[in-house]
Amino acid sequence: MHSPFLLTDRRRFIATLALGAGAFTVRGAFAEQLARTVAQTEGPFYPDRLPLDTDNDLIVLNNGLTPAVGEITHLSGRILDDTGAPVRNAIVEIWQCDHEGVYLHSADASRKPGDRNFQGFGRFLTDSSGGYYFRTIKPVPYPGRTPHIHFKVKKGGRDLLTTQCYVKGHPGNAQDGIWKSVTDPRARESITIDFSPAPGSPAGELVAKFDIVVGRTPTA
């Protein structure tokens, strides 16, 4: 059964996200001070076969009625270059494991059955403000890794950045080798984000914001 937050409330929530993204700009005297988001490993589980459904809603496959298991999260942010300008028409990809810790990858399928209702991978084309939006689940840990979501940003046939974001305050972060490999405190903080209750959501859904700063981008 779809959450009641997916109807009018969901549309209103997404519109609020878009307005908030459009109101945030970083230009002028501080433009050159934007630090680029740290690159991180793609990992072994970028999907080796993409799902038929690759939209930005990872909770429901195609027109399915059964949602994925997990804490529904509205994940948004902006893609900026290092002058603070929005990166328009960039492709943002995310991929992550399901609530059982299983990725959408043939090499991972033998560990345990996965959630057949979780898309596992999604894409979004950034808008005029550089904004993106996904509906997914809050990431969960699995053996050897703290909860995280993988990101890849592309434009003009080029990969601009591959990185990961993490759950702020999760105890597994301090034991995660990839998270710990980022030794600069500010860089580490920029990829470690809050997952907070969504205002007005009767179903206990979450919101998370992850802004990404890349280098100068193709103009096409």
pTM of the model: 0.84
Quick check: is 187 in a domain? yes
Quick check: is 31 in a domain? yes
pLDDT band at 18 (very low <50, low <70, confident <90, very high): very low
Quick check: is 36 in a domain? yes
Quick check: is 219 in a domain? no
Q: Are strands 196-197 and 206-209 parallel, antiparallel or unpaired?
A: antiparallel
DSSP 137: E
The DSSP-derived string for 148-214 is: EEEEEEEETTEEEEEEEEEETT-GGGGG-HHHHT--SHHHHHHTEE--EEPTT-TT--EEEE--EE-
Which token pair is 107?
Answer: 């090499």
| Mean pLDDT value of segment 123-128 | 98
pLDDT at 51: 85
Query: Exposure pattern of 41-54 as b/e (b: 16+ CB <10 Å)?
Result: eeeebbeeeebebe
**CA pair distance 53, 65, nearest whole angstrom:** 14
Which token pair is 72?
Answer: 């529904």
Vertex 119 angle, CA 113 and 123, to 5°: 150
Q: List beta partners, residue 73.
A: 136, 206
**Residue range 171-180, pLDDT digits in tens:** 999 999 999 9
pLDDT band at 111 (very low <50, low <70, confident <90, very high): low
Quick check: is 192 in a domain? yes
CATH number at residue 55: 2.60.130.10
Q: How many structural domains compose the chain? A: 1
Quick check: is 103 in a domain? yes
**Closest residue by Cα to residue 207 from 21, 1, 2:** 21
Quick check: is 220 in a domain? no
In this structure, of 14-18, 87-91, 123-127, 143-147, the range with the lowest mean pLDDT score is: 14-18
- Domain with 138, as residue range(s), is 4-213
Quick check: is 218 in a domain? no
Which token pair is 164?
Answer: 């990961």
| Mean pLDDT value of segment 3-26 | 42
